[in-house]
Chain A
Amino acid sequence: MRRGYADRAPVKTMARIDTPRSLERVAAGPVAVGGVAWAQTRGIEAVEVQVDDGPFRPAQLAQALNRDSWRQWRFDWDAVPGRHTLTARAVDGRGETQTETRADIVPDGASGWMSLVVTVE
Protein backbone atom coordinates (compact mmCIF):
# COMPACT_ATOMS: atom_id res chain seq x y z
CA MET A 1 0.00 0.00 0.00
CA ARG A 2 1.50 3.31 -1.05
CA ARG A 3 0.74 6.32 1.08
CA GLY A 4 1.45 9.99 0.87
CA TYR A 5 -0.86 11.06 -1.95
CA ALA A 6 -1.76 14.74 -2.22
CA ASP A 7 -5.27 15.94 -1.31
CA ARG A 8 -5.57 17.61 -4.71
CA ALA A 9 -4.22 16.02 -7.85
CA PRO A 10 -5.61 17.55 -11.05
CA VAL A 11 -5.04 15.29 -14.05
CA LYS A 12 -1.77 16.15 -15.78
CA THR A 13 -1.55 16.46 -19.55
CA MET A 14 -0.15 13.21 -20.95
CA ALA A 15 0.39 11.45 -24.26
CA ARG A 16 0.90 7.71 -24.34
CA ILE A 17 2.38 5.63 -27.15
CA ASP A 18 0.48 2.37 -27.60
CA THR A 19 1.90 1.22 -30.91
CA PRO A 20 4.46 0.13 -31.87
CA ARG A 21 5.18 -1.70 -28.65
CA SER A 22 8.33 -1.01 -26.72
CA LEU A 23 11.32 -3.06 -27.96
CA GLU A 24 9.27 -4.28 -30.92
CA ARG A 25 10.94 -5.04 -34.24
CA VAL A 26 9.17 -3.38 -37.13
CA ALA A 27 9.78 -3.42 -40.87
CA ALA A 28 11.33 -0.37 -42.50
CA GLY A 29 8.94 1.89 -44.40
CA PRO A 30 5.66 3.43 -43.30
CA VAL A 31 4.89 2.69 -39.65
CA ALA A 32 1.79 3.98 -37.89
CA VAL A 33 2.73 5.30 -34.46
CA GLY A 34 -0.36 5.70 -32.33
CA GLY A 35 -1.75 6.16 -28.86
CA VAL A 36 -3.97 8.25 -26.67
CA ALA A 37 -3.60 11.59 -24.93
CA TRP A 38 -5.55 13.16 -22.13
CA ALA A 39 -5.90 16.42 -20.23
CA GLN A 40 -9.23 16.18 -18.43
CA THR A 41 -11.13 19.50 -18.08
CA ARG A 42 -8.77 21.18 -20.59
CA GLY A 43 -8.90 18.91 -23.63
CA ILE A 44 -6.15 17.94 -26.06
CA GLU A 45 -5.18 20.48 -28.70
CA ALA A 46 -2.20 18.68 -30.22
CA VAL A 47 0.07 15.68 -29.91
CA GLU A 48 3.63 15.86 -31.18
CA VAL A 49 6.05 13.05 -31.91
CA GLN A 50 9.82 13.10 -31.97
CA VAL A 51 12.03 10.48 -33.62
CA ASP A 52 15.45 10.23 -31.97
CA ASP A 53 16.80 13.78 -31.63
CA GLY A 54 14.75 15.21 -34.50
CA PRO A 55 12.13 17.95 -34.25
CA PHE A 56 8.72 17.36 -32.66
CA ARG A 57 6.18 16.98 -35.44
CA PRO A 58 2.39 17.08 -35.16
CA ALA A 59 0.37 13.87 -35.04
CA GLN A 60 -3.14 13.57 -36.46
CA LEU A 61 -5.89 13.63 -33.87
CA ALA A 62 -9.13 11.67 -33.82
CA GLN A 63 -12.25 13.72 -33.29
CA ALA A 64 -12.56 14.99 -29.73
CA LEU A 65 -15.64 13.65 -27.95
CA ASN A 66 -15.36 16.30 -25.27
CA ARG A 67 -12.65 17.82 -23.15
CA ASP A 68 -12.58 14.91 -20.74
CA SER A 69 -12.28 11.88 -22.97
CA TRP A 70 -8.98 10.41 -23.94
CA ARG A 71 -8.14 11.41 -27.49
CA GLN A 72 -6.60 9.03 -29.98
CA TRP A 73 -3.72 10.15 -32.15
CA ARG A 74 -1.66 8.79 -35.01
CA PHE A 75 1.67 9.69 -36.55
CA ASP A 76 2.87 8.33 -39.88
CA TRP A 77 6.52 7.51 -39.57
CA ASP A 78 8.77 6.63 -42.46
CA ALA A 79 10.99 4.27 -40.51
CA VAL A 80 14.57 3.64 -41.57
CA PRO A 81 16.60 0.64 -40.34
CA GLY A 82 18.30 0.91 -36.98
CA ARG A 83 17.41 1.42 -33.34
CA HIS A 84 15.15 4.41 -32.78
CA THR A 85 13.62 6.26 -29.87
CA LEU A 86 10.08 7.59 -30.23
CA THR A 87 8.90 10.31 -27.86
CA ALA A 88 5.41 11.79 -27.59
CA ARG A 89 4.03 14.85 -25.84
CA ALA A 90 0.65 16.56 -25.79
CA VAL A 91 -0.53 20.16 -25.78
CA ASP A 92 -3.67 20.88 -23.78
CA GLY A 93 -6.63 23.06 -24.68
CA ARG A 94 -4.99 26.06 -23.06
CA GLY A 95 -1.99 25.74 -25.33
CA GLU A 96 0.26 24.42 -22.60
CA THR A 97 2.73 21.71 -23.57
CA GLN A 98 3.00 18.68 -21.35
CA THR A 99 5.91 19.07 -18.94
CA GLU A 100 9.08 17.14 -19.65
CA THR A 101 9.89 17.06 -15.95
CA ARG A 102 9.49 13.59 -14.55
CA ALA A 103 7.50 13.03 -11.41
CA ASP A 104 6.52 9.89 -9.56
CA ILE A 105 2.89 8.84 -9.21
CA VAL A 106 3.06 9.89 -5.55
CA PRO A 107 2.06 12.52 -4.48
CA ASP A 108 -0.01 13.98 -7.31
CA GLY A 109 0.48 11.97 -10.48
CA ALA A 110 3.24 10.99 -12.88
CA SER A 111 4.60 13.41 -15.46
CA GLY A 112 7.20 13.49 -18.19
CA TRP A 113 7.29 12.63 -21.91
CA MET A 114 6.86 8.98 -22.72
CA SER A 115 9.50 7.44 -24.89
CA LEU A 116 10.24 3.96 -26.11
CA VAL A 117 12.82 2.21 -28.21
CA VAL A 118 12.05 0.12 -31.28
CA THR A 119 14.25 -1.67 -33.77
CA VAL A 120 13.56 -1.13 -37.46
CA GLU A 121 14.73 -3.93 -39.75
Chain B
Amino acid sequence: MRPTRKLRGALALVVGLSLAAAACSDGNDSNASSDEPAPIESPAPDAAGDTPGATDPATICDSAGLVAAVESGPDEGTLSGMTDDPVATAASSNPVLTTLVTAVTEAGLVDTLNSADAVTVFAPTDCAFAALDPATLQAALADPTGLLTQVLGFHVVAGQRLSSEDLANTSELETFTGAVLPVESDGDAITVGGGQARVVVPDIQTANATVHLIDHVMVPPAG
Protein backbone atom coordinates (compact mmCIF):
# COMPACT_ATOMS: atom_id res chain seq x y z
CA MET B 1 0.00 0.00 0.00
CA ARG B 2 2.55 2.44 1.22
CA PRO B 3 5.00 2.47 -1.67
CA THR B 4 2.12 2.82 -4.10
CA ARG B 5 0.75 5.81 -2.34
CA LYS B 6 4.18 7.35 -2.14
CA LEU B 7 4.74 6.75 -5.82
CA ARG B 8 1.43 8.33 -6.66
CA GLY B 9 2.31 11.35 -4.60
CA ALA B 10 5.64 11.65 -6.35
CA LEU B 11 4.01 11.39 -9.74
CA ALA B 12 1.47 14.03 -8.85
CA LEU B 13 4.29 16.28 -7.76
CA VAL B 14 6.18 15.77 -11.00
CA VAL B 15 3.04 16.48 -13.01
CA GLY B 16 2.36 19.56 -10.92
CA LEU B 17 5.87 20.84 -11.46
CA SER B 18 5.90 20.31 -15.19
CA LEU B 19 2.55 22.03 -15.49
CA ALA B 20 3.83 24.92 -13.45
CA ALA B 21 6.85 25.09 -15.71
CA ALA B 22 4.60 25.18 -18.74
CA ALA B 23 2.58 27.95 -17.18
CA CYS B 24 5.70 29.97 -16.52
CA SER B 25 6.93 29.64 -20.05
CA ASP B 26 3.76 31.34 -21.24
CA GLY B 27 5.18 34.70 -20.40
CA ASN B 28 8.03 33.94 -22.70
CA ASP B 29 6.68 35.29 -25.92
CA SER B 30 9.20 33.85 -28.32
CA ASN B 31 8.01 30.32 -27.80
CA ALA B 32 4.28 29.84 -27.53
CA SER B 33 4.00 26.28 -26.31
CA SER B 34 1.09 24.00 -27.01
CA ASP B 35 0.58 23.83 -23.25
CA GLU B 36 -0.25 27.45 -22.88
CA PRO B 37 -3.62 27.97 -21.27
CA ALA B 38 -4.55 30.05 -24.26
CA PRO B 39 -7.36 28.04 -25.73
CA ILE B 40 -9.54 30.77 -24.52
CA GLU B 41 -8.09 33.57 -26.47
CA SER B 42 -10.74 35.51 -28.30
CA PRO B 43 -10.05 37.09 -31.63
CA ALA B 44 -9.26 40.75 -31.40
CA PRO B 45 -11.74 42.53 -33.65
CA ASP B 46 -9.56 45.59 -33.68
CA ALA B 47 -6.54 43.71 -34.96
CA ALA B 48 -7.35 44.31 -38.59
CA GLY B 49 -8.56 47.08 -40.79
CA ASP B 50 -7.54 49.91 -38.50
CA THR B 51 -4.65 51.07 -40.59
CA PRO B 52 -5.48 54.47 -42.00
CA GLY B 53 -6.07 54.31 -45.72
CA ALA B 54 -6.17 50.51 -45.73
CA THR B 55 -7.95 48.90 -48.67
CA ASP B 56 -11.24 47.15 -47.91
CA PRO B 57 -10.07 43.54 -47.46
CA ALA B 58 -13.14 42.29 -49.32
CA THR B 59 -11.73 43.75 -52.52
CA ILE B 60 -8.42 41.90 -52.24
CA CYS B 61 -8.93 38.68 -54.14
CA ASP B 62 -5.82 37.72 -56.09
CA SER B 63 -2.87 35.78 -54.68
CA ALA B 64 -0.33 38.58 -54.90
CA GLY B 65 -2.71 41.12 -53.36
CA LEU B 66 -3.61 38.77 -50.52
CA VAL B 67 0.01 38.03 -49.70
CA ALA B 68 0.86 41.74 -49.81
CA ALA B 69 -2.07 42.58 -47.51
CA VAL B 70 -1.13 39.84 -45.06
CA GLU B 71 2.49 40.90 -44.99
CA SER B 72 1.64 44.56 -44.40
CA GLY B 73 -0.77 43.77 -41.53
CA PRO B 74 0.02 43.32 -37.84
CA ASP B 75 3.17 41.31 -37.12
CA GLU B 76 1.28 38.38 -35.61
CA GLY B 77 -0.80 38.06 -38.77
CA THR B 78 2.07 37.92 -41.25
CA LEU B 79 3.07 34.64 -42.85
CA SER B 80 5.96 34.25 -40.41
CA GLY B 81 4.07 35.79 -37.48
CA MET B 82 1.27 33.24 -37.67
CA THR B 83 3.54 30.23 -37.26
CA ASP B 84 3.68 30.33 -33.46
CA ASP B 85 -0.01 30.98 -32.75
CA PRO B 86 -2.76 28.36 -32.84
CA VAL B 87 -4.90 28.69 -35.95
CA ALA B 88 -7.93 30.69 -34.75
CA THR B 89 -5.68 33.12 -32.89
CA ALA B 90 -3.39 33.42 -35.91
CA ALA B 91 -6.38 34.08 -38.18
CA SER B 92 -7.62 36.81 -35.87
CA SER B 93 -4.40 38.74 -36.51
CA ASN B 94 -4.81 38.38 -40.26
CA PRO B 95 -6.29 41.31 -42.16
CA VAL B 96 -7.96 39.29 -44.94
CA LEU B 97 -9.79 36.75 -42.76
CA THR B 98 -12.01 39.05 -40.68
CA THR B 99 -15.37 37.57 -41.73
CA LEU B 100 -14.12 34.02 -41.22
CA VAL B 101 -12.93 34.91 -37.73
CA THR B 102 -16.34 36.41 -36.92
CA ALA B 103 -18.07 33.26 -38.18
CA VAL B 104 -15.75 30.94 -36.22
CA THR B 105 -16.35 33.01 -33.08
CA GLU B 106 -20.13 32.97 -33.58
CA ALA B 107 -20.05 29.20 -34.06
CA GLY B 108 -18.11 28.83 -30.79
CA LEU B 109 -15.30 27.04 -32.60
CA VAL B 110 -12.34 29.20 -31.50
CA ASP B 111 -11.16 26.80 -28.78
CA THR B 112 -11.93 23.76 -30.90
CA LEU B 113 -9.68 24.99 -33.70
CA ASN B 114 -7.01 26.36 -31.38
CA SER B 115 -6.71 23.20 -29.31
CA ALA B 116 -6.90 20.61 -32.09
CA ASP B 117 -3.63 18.73 -32.49
CA ALA B 118 -3.38 18.97 -36.25
CA VAL B 119 -5.77 20.41 -38.77
CA THR B 120 -5.98 21.53 -42.36
CA VAL B 121 -8.13 24.60 -42.91
CA PHE B 122 -9.44 25.90 -46.20
CA ALA B 123 -9.92 29.51 -45.20
CA PRO B 124 -12.27 31.66 -47.27
CA THR B 125 -10.93 35.20 -47.49
CA ASP B 126 -13.01 38.32 -46.95
CA CYS B 127 -13.23 38.50 -50.75
CA ALA B 128 -14.70 34.98 -50.73
CA PHE B 129 -17.32 35.95 -48.15
CA ALA B 130 -18.16 39.08 -50.16
CA ALA B 131 -19.00 36.83 -53.12
CA LEU B 132 -21.39 34.78 -50.98
CA ASP B 133 -25.10 35.54 -51.17
CA PRO B 134 -25.67 37.83 -48.13
CA ALA B 135 -28.89 35.98 -47.32
CA THR B 136 -26.95 32.69 -47.07
CA LEU B 137 -24.39 34.28 -44.75
CA GLN B 138 -27.11 35.78 -42.55
CA ALA B 139 -28.98 32.48 -42.40
CA ALA B 140 -25.80 30.70 -41.37
CA LEU B 141 -24.89 33.30 -38.73
CA ALA B 142 -28.42 33.00 -37.33
CA ASP B 143 -27.91 29.28 -36.76
CA PRO B 144 -24.42 29.11 -35.22
CA THR B 145 -24.37 25.51 -34.00
CA GLY B 146 -26.37 24.21 -36.96
CA LEU B 147 -25.92 25.57 -40.47
CA LEU B 148 -22.90 27.74 -39.64
CA THR B 149 -20.99 24.86 -38.03
CA GLN B 150 -21.99 22.61 -40.91
CA VAL B 151 -20.59 25.09 -43.44
CA LEU B 152 -17.42 25.94 -41.49
CA GLY B 153 -16.83 22.28 -40.71
CA PHE B 154 -16.78 21.56 -44.44
CA HIS B 155 -13.61 23.68 -44.57
CA VAL B 156 -11.74 21.77 -41.85
CA VAL B 157 -9.96 18.42 -42.05
CA ALA B 158 -9.06 17.10 -38.60
CA GLY B 159 -6.06 15.05 -37.62
CA GLN B 160 -3.65 15.97 -40.40
CA ARG B 161 -1.79 18.94 -41.80
CA LEU B 162 -1.97 18.66 -45.56
CA SER B 163 0.39 20.67 -47.75
CA SER B 164 -0.45 21.72 -51.30
CA GLU B 165 1.78 18.85 -52.37
CA ASP B 166 -0.39 16.44 -50.37
CA LEU B 167 -3.50 17.99 -51.90
CA ALA B 168 -2.12 17.42 -55.39
CA ASN B 169 -2.09 13.71 -54.61
CA THR B 170 -5.56 13.58 -53.10
CA SER B 171 -8.96 13.28 -54.70
CA GLU B 172 -11.13 13.58 -51.62
CA LEU B 173 -10.91 14.35 -47.91
CA GLU B 174 -13.23 13.64 -45.03
CA THR B 175 -14.04 16.88 -43.23
CA PHE B 176 -14.74 16.99 -39.53
CA THR B 177 -18.50 17.12 -40.04
CA GLY B 178 -18.22 13.87 -41.97
CA ALA B 179 -19.00 15.40 -45.37
CA VAL B 180 -16.56 14.44 -48.11
CA LEU B 181 -14.63 17.28 -49.74
CA PRO B 182 -13.54 16.64 -53.34
CA VAL B 183 -10.05 17.88 -54.29
CA GLU B 184 -8.81 18.37 -57.84
CA SER B 185 -5.50 19.64 -59.08
CA ASP B 186 -4.21 20.68 -62.45
CA GLY B 187 -0.58 21.70 -62.40
CA ASP B 188 -0.26 24.30 -59.68
CA ALA B 189 -4.00 24.99 -59.55
CA ILE B 190 -5.92 23.28 -56.75
CA THR B 191 -9.71 23.28 -56.71
CA VAL B 192 -11.78 22.07 -53.77
CA GLY B 193 -15.43 21.36 -53.09
CA GLY B 194 -16.25 20.04 -56.56
CA GLY B 195 -15.17 23.21 -58.33
CA GLN B 196 -16.61 25.53 -55.67
CA ALA B 197 -13.35 27.16 -54.66
CA ARG B 198 -9.76 27.60 -55.77
CA VAL B 199 -6.73 27.74 -53.50
CA VAL B 200 -5.30 31.25 -53.88
CA VAL B 201 -2.59 31.19 -51.20
CA PRO B 202 -1.47 27.69 -50.18
CA ASP B 203 0.59 26.38 -47.27
CA ILE B 204 0.28 29.02 -44.56
CA GLN B 205 1.67 27.51 -41.37
CA THR B 206 0.26 28.14 -37.91
CA ALA B 207 1.21 26.39 -34.68
CA ASN B 208 -1.34 23.62 -35.14
CA ALA B 209 -2.73 23.96 -38.64
CA THR B 210 -1.85 24.28 -42.29
CA VAL B 211 -4.08 26.90 -43.89
CA HIS B 212 -4.93 27.35 -47.55
CA LEU B 213 -6.71 30.57 -48.48
CA ILE B 214 -9.56 29.96 -50.91
CA ASP B 215 -11.55 32.30 -53.13
CA HIS B 216 -15.10 31.12 -52.40
CA VAL B 217 -17.02 29.84 -49.41
CA MET B 218 -17.92 26.21 -50.01
CA VAL B 219 -21.35 24.83 -49.30
CA PRO B 220 -21.45 21.20 -48.15
CA PRO B 221 -23.54 18.71 -50.12
CA ALA B 222 -27.08 18.35 -48.81
CA GLY B 223 -27.71 15.57 -46.34
Q: Which residues of A contact B (CB under 8 A)?
A: 1-2, 14, 16-17, 21-24, 36, 38, 62-63, 65, 69-70, 72, 83, 85, 102-105, 110-117, 119
CA distance A70 to B109 in the complex (A): 25
Number of interface residues of B (CB under 8 A): 34
B15: chain A residues within 8 A (beta carbon):
72
A102: chain B residues within 8 A (beta carbon):
40, 42
What is the CB-to-nearest-CB distance from B9 to chain A, in angstroms, rounded to a whole number? 9
Contact status of A16 and B39, CB under 8 A, knowing A22-B116, A23-B112: yes
A14: chain B residues within 8 A (beta carbon):
37, 40
CA distance A62 to B13 in the complex (A): 12
Within 8 A of A (CB), among B106-126: 108-109, 111-117, 119
Further pairs besides A2-B76, A14-B40, A23-B112: 20, Cβ < 8 Å: A1-B29, A2-B29, A14-B37, A16-B37, A21-B116, A22-B111, A22-B115, A22-B117, A23-B116, A23-B156, A38-B23, A63-B12, A69-B16, A83-B177, A85-B112, A85-B145, A110-B38, A110-B41, A110-B42, A117-B109
A17: chain B residues within 8 A (beta carbon):
115
Contact status of A70 and B19, CB under 8 A, knowing A21-B117, A22-B117, A110-B40: yes
B114: chain A residues within 8 A (beta carbon):
22
Which of A24, A36, A112, A117 has most chain B Cβ within 10 Å?
A117
What is the CB-to-nearest-CB distance from B11 to chain A, in angstroms, rounded to a whole number? 11
> What string of 1s and 0s marks CB contacts (under 8 Å) between B124-161 and chain A?
00000000000000000000010001000000101100
Contact (Cβ within 8 A) B37 A104: no
Which of A1, A65, A115 has most chain B Cβ within 10 Å?
A115
Contact (Cβ within 8 A) B41 A105: yes
Partner of A117, one of B13, B29, B37, B112: B112
CA distance A72 to B18 in the complex (A): 13
CA distance A24 to B115 in the complex (A): 11
A16: chain B residues within 8 A (beta carbon):
37, 39
CA distance A113 to B115 in the complex (A): 13
What is the CB-to-nearest-CB distance from A112 to chain B, in angstroms, rounded to a whole number? 4
In the assembled complex, B20 has its CB within 8 A of some CB on chain A: yes
Partner of B176, one of A21, A62, A113, A119: A119
CA distance A65 to B20 in the complex (A): 13
Contact (Cβ within 8 A) A111 B40: yes
Task: Give the residue name and chain of the A residue nearest to B157 (CB).
Answer: A23
